[in-house]
Amino acid sequence: MDIAESLGQLALFADLTPSQLEAIAHTHEEDVFAAGERVLRRGLSGGNFYVILEGEASVEVGGEDRHQLTRGDFFGEISALTGEPPAADVVASTTLRCLVIPAAQLERLLLERPQLMLRMLRMEARRLQGTLNWRP
């Protein structure tokens, strides 16, 4: 399955047309990480936005597993949008295949496709709500 087809099956990209999906697939790179490989390191510059096409990853804070990410989930968006270093480590739990969008291109992508920005904002709001429920 090519990247555009994979993207079309993910909730984040559900509102985009096939030609918009093709444009994203052809403009951005795909990267593969081995199980156990650290994709983002807390406190160090992130800079990329990652969308999981296949596999699973673990969000870790202080060596503690806080959340599992799977196909269709994304990460790195806060660092990519704010320029701040990541607040958590993200480690591949299995072989992890991701679409990688550099920070410099993420803002333009979201502004050009408001439906993508709105869907991402909704997903982010749900994630924040879930994170707040983790706290005692």
Residue 7 CB contacts under 8 Å (≥ 6 apart), including other chains: 13, 16, 21, 24, 25, 51, 53, 99
Greatest CA separation for the chain: 46
pLDDT tens-digit profile of 10-54? 999 998 999 999 999 999 999 999 999 999 999 987 789 999 999
Q: What are the tens digits of pLDDT across the range 69-118? A: 999 999 999 999 999 999 899 999 999 999 999 998 999 999 999 999 99
Please give the model's pTM, rounded to 2 decimal places. 0.91
Q: What are the sequence ranges of the domains in the chain? A: 3-134
3-134 has CATH 2.60.120.10 classification: yes
